[in-house]
């Protein structure tokens, strides 16, 4: 209460200036373009919208995007927990390097990652030839290839969400569990996992949403066969190249809404569990 | 047995799995780019990256990245000042709108600019009249890059300033210091490292942006092709050595950025910010 009262009088200068600059940039870069999206969408006729987004090829691309992004986010969640655990709990040579390398997908341009992963996973690539000779599985130009690219893109999201929470878990919880006779597995699954679950969901949601929209790394490895390995962002791209802005916008709206729903569900989960988070964040 | 100090086989199995995963998923692509770039000898590499169009792409990438970082740093500093130093209505809305661009697919980011400035837009006749080209020109590439990296600087500074509280600035203001003096003497020392950290992240993303830029550039070789687009062009022309040679430069930049990042992170932690 005291806090609120004090801040009613603005002692610190620069409110007008900083708000002005913020709003000007926000308006020009974010709001005007978003408004034009809204205006343009409003001009679309509803039946045209439905026809566009229910075209079999578009529907297939949604399914491809959704499937691959989901599987990739699950793999990222599992590997992300393992990586966060190893980085927080263990000391070993090369730990600092491992910690730095996790961020590589943020630093490496997606197109570079895309062409490198593609070349590695084609049937004569270093990794692809191994898989095609041993298991008879083709990686590049299939959904597996898309998933590999999305795993690459999404891994830091999970690690960076889980890591700080894992760091802050009080050792007393584990000690108490030990004293009460829990074994290692019970401690992990019944004491630690529930604590990091909200952070894990958050990391999962971020990498899932990112995977749905990802273009640069996927477009090379996907092969872009209609109905099979064509992702939704690519559909938008090809409509744009044909200057069919209505179709592009319709497809994009579905993707935008999906991404916002994922992030909204995540926000709801986070605020419901904020009691756990508040001690940490 | 305390699992924190677990040094049994579980520890090494887990470390092994993680190392293997990172080696295959992250290190291998990196190594592959470098190996392929220098496969045919250093001369081929040098020739590929000093090609007229390659140099133009590199220069354009530097330009675009520079403008983007400047704009987003200005936004980052002013927005974080505004959002953490004052209470006002609509604060949450502004803060979420600043963060919004990172959740939007890069392709959709490109699309909304096409809708804003493209031929079917209400603004188009005015832009045409003024002779301003945005779509399929450098301004479009710059705008798209600014959009996708919009909150990169501000979201590094805001948590630090929030944790800092406003007491120090209020004291300085009451003692008669002006806005700029307060920022320079009181606030800046606290946000120095997070600010640099945000700039590094922004640089990394700006130089590598592909999807949004790809929508807006029109792929005019030597005019609107940034490095990632130039790589795509070479790759699609089956000039793999060339594509990987230009990629190698971006890989080196990425490694530099990772090193800078961890140095800055440690500096920030040491000073307790």
ipTM comes to 0.88
Q: Residue A214: what pLDDT?
A: 93
Mean pLDDT of chain A: 88
Taking the CA of residue B204 and the nearest CA in chain A, the distance in Å comes to 5
Which residues of chain B make contact with A94, given a CB cutoff of 8 A? 19
pLDDT score recorded for residue B1: 41
Q: What percent of chain A has pLDDT over 70?
A: 94
pLDDT tens for residues A39-72?
999 888 899 899 999 999 999 999 999 999 999 9
pLDDT at residue number A145: 94
pLDDT band at residue A274 under the 50/70/90 scheme: low
Question: Structural domain boundaries of chain A?
Answer: 13-43, 45-278
Per-residue pLDDT at A4: 47
Four-point Cα dihedral B156, B160, B163, B164, nearest 10: -150
pLDDT band at B272, cuts 50/70/90? low
Q: Does A18 touch chain B (CB under 8 A)?
A: yes
Higher pLDDT, B250 or B11: B250
Select the residue of A19, A106, A115 nearest B247 (Cβ to Cβ). Answer: A115
Q: What pLDDT shows up at residue B7?
A: 60
The beta-carbon neighbor of A111 closest among B21, B231, B262 is B231
Is the Cβ pair A105, B78 closer than 8 Å? no
Looking at domain A45-278, its CATH architecture is Orthogonal Bundle (1.10)
Of A40, A215, A216, the CB nearest to B115: A40
- pLDDT of B17 higher than 50: yes
User: What is the C-alpha to C-alpha distance for residues A211 and A226, in angstroms, rounded to an integer?
Assistant: 19
In A240-269, the residues whose Cβ lies within 8 Å of chain B are 240, 245, 248-249, 252, 255-256, 259-260, 263
**Higher local confidence (pLDDT), B256 or A186:** B256
Assign 3-class secondary structure to chain A.
CHHHHHHHCCCCCCHHHHHHHHHHHHHHHHHHHHHHHHHHHHHCCHHHHHHHHCCHHHHHHHHHHHHHHHHHHHHHHHHHHHHHHHHHHCCCCCHHHHHHHCCHHHHCCHHHHHHHHHHHHCCCCHHHHHHHHHCCCCCCCCHHHHHHHHHHHHHHHHHHHHHHHHHHCCHHHHHHHHHCCCCHHHHHHHHHHHHHHHHHHHHHHHHHHHHHHCCHHHHHHCCCCCCCCCCHHHHHHHHHHCCCHHHHHHHHHHHHHHHHHHHHHHHHHHHHCHHHHHCCC
Tell me the chain A residues in contact with residue B111 when contact means C-beta distances shorter than 8 Å. Answer: 37, 236, 240, 248-249, 252
Alpha carbon of B147: minimum distance to chain A alpha carbons (Å)? 6
Q: Which residue of A has its CA nearest to B252?
A: A108
Right CATH for B41-270 from 3.90.110.10, 3.30.420.270, 1.10.1740.10, 1.10.3720.10 = 1.10.3720.10
Q: Do A215 and B210 touch (CB under 8 A)?
A: yes
A143 CA to chain B: closest CA distance, Å? 17
> In this complex, do B29 and A18 lie within 8 Å of one another by their Cβ atoms?
no
A72 contacts A211 by C-beta, under 8 angstroms: yes
3-state secondary structure of B6: coil
Average per-residue pLDDT for chain B: 89
Tell whether A169 lies on the interface with B, counting CB pairs under 8 A. Answer: no
Contact B228 A90 (CB under 8 A): no
A36 → closest Cβ in B105, B112, B257:
B112
- Report whether pLDDT(A212) > 50: yes
The residue among A35, A33, A210, A107 whose CA lies nearest residue B143 is A33
Closest residue on chain B to A208 (Cα): B103
Q: Which residues contact A140 (CB under 8 A, 6 or more apart)?
A: A118, A121, A122, A123, A125, A128, A221, A223
Residue predicted with more confidence, A76 or A173: A76
Q: Is the pTM of this model over 0.95?
A: no
Q: Smallest CA–CA separation between B233 and chain A, in Å?
A: 11
pLDDT at B2 over 50: no
Average pLDDT estimate for A173-194 = 82
> In the predicted model, what is the mean pLDDT of residues A168-178?
81
Residue for token pair 């962002």: A233
Least Cα separation, residue B117 to chain A (angstroms): 9
- The pLDDT, as a whole number, for residue A200 is 93
Highest mean pLDDT among A64-78, A192-206, B76-90, B124-138: A64-78
pLDDT on residue A2: 45
Judge whether B257 and A109 are in contact, CB under 8 Å.
Answer: no
**CB distance from A97 to chain B under 8 Å?**
no
**Smallest Cα distance from A251 to chain B, Å:** 10
Chain A hits for B4, Cβ within 8 Å? 89, 171, 174
For a pLDDT cut of 70, what percent of chain B falls above it? 96
Region B205-214: mean pLDDT is 92
pLDDT of residue B128: 84
Q: Least CA distance to A182: which residue of chain B?
A: B1
pLDDT digits (tens, 9 = 90+) for A138-162: 888 999 999 999 999 999 999 999 9
Q: What is the pLDDT of residues B214-238, one digit of tens each?
A: 999 877 777 889 999 999 999 999 9
B218/B109: higher pLDDT: B109
Average pLDDT over residues B126-151: 90
Task: Tell me which range, A38-52, B70-84, B152-166, B182-196, is most confidently predicted by mean pLDDT.
Answer: B70-84
Q: Is A10 an 8 Å CB contact of chain B? A: yes
CA gap B85, B169 in Å, rounded: 9
Task: Give the nearest chain A residue to B16 (CA atoms).
Answer: A86
For A98-131, what is each residue's pLDDT tens digit? 988 998 998 999 999 999 999 999 988 888 888 8
Distance in Å, alpha carbon of B85 to nearest chain A alpha carbon: 7
């Amino acid at each position: 209460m005291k806090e609120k009262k004090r801040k009613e009088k603005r002692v610190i200068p620069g409110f007008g200036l900083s708000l002005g600059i913020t709003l000007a940039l926000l308006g020009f870069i974010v709001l005007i373009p978003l408004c034009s999206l809204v205006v343009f969408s409003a001009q679309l006729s509803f039946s045209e919208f439905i026809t566009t987004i229910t075209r079999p090829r578009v529907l297939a691309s949604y399914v491809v995007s959704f499937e691959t992004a989901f599987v990739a986010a699950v793999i990222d969640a599992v590997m992300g927990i393992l990586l966060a655990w190893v980085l927080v709990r263990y000391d070993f040579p090369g730990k600092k390097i491992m910690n730095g390398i996790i961020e590589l997908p943020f630093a490496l341009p997606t197109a570079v990652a895309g062409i490198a992963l593609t070349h590695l996973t084609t049937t004569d690539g270093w990794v692809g030839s191994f898989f095609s000779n041993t298991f008879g599985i083709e990686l590049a130009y299939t959904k597996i290839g898309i998933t590999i690219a999305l795993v690459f893109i999404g891994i830091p999201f999970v690690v960076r969400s889980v890591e700080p929470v894992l760091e802050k878990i009080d050792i007393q919880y584990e000690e108490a569990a030990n004293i009460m006779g829990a074994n290692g597995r019970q401690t992990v699954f019944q004491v630690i996992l529930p604590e990091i679950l909200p952070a894990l969901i958050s990391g999962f949601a971020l990498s899932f949403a990112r995977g749905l929209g990802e273009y640069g790394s996927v477009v090379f490895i996907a092969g872009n066969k209609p109905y099979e390995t064509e992702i939704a962002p690519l559909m938008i791209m090809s409509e744009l190249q044909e200057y069919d802005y209505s179709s592009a916008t319709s497809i994009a709206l579905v993707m935008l809404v999906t991404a916002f729903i994922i992030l909204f569900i995540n926000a709801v989960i986070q605020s419901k569990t904020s009691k756990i988070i508040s001690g940490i964040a | 047995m305390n699992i924190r100090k677990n040094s049994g086989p579980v520890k090494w199995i887990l470390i092994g799995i993680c190392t293997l995963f990172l080696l295959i998923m992250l290190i291998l692509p990196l190594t592959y780019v470098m190996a392929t770039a220098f496969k045919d000898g250093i001369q081929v590499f040098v020739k590929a990256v000093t090609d007229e169009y390659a140099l133009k792409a590199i220069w354009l990438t530097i330009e675009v990245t520079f403008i983007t970082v400047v704009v987003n740093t200005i936004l980052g500093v002013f927005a974080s000042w505004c959002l953490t130093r004052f209470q006002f209505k609509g604060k949450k809305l502004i803060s979420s709108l600043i963060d919004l661009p990172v959740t939007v697919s890069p392709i959709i980011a490109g699309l909304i600019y096409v809708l804003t400035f493209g031929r079917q837009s209400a603004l188009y006749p005015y832009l045409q009249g003024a002779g301003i080209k945005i779509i399929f020109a450098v301004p479009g590439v710059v705008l798209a890059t600014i959009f996708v990296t919009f909150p990169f600087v501000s979201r590094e500074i805001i948590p630090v300033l929030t944790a800092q509280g406003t007491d120090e600035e209020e004291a300085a203001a009451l003692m008669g210091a002006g806005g700029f003096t307060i920022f320079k003497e009181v606030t800046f020392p606290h946000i120095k490292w997070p600010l640099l950290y945000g700039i590094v992240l922004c640089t990394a993303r700006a130089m590598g942006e592909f999807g949004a830029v790809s929508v807006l550039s029109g792929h005019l070789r030597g005019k609107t092709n940034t490095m990632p687009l130039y790589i795509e062009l070479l790759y699609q022309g089956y000039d793999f050595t060339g594509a990987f040679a230009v990629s190698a430069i971006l890989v080196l930049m990425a490694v530099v950025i990772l090193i800078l990042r961890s140095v800055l992170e440690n500096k920030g932690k040491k000073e307790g910010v």
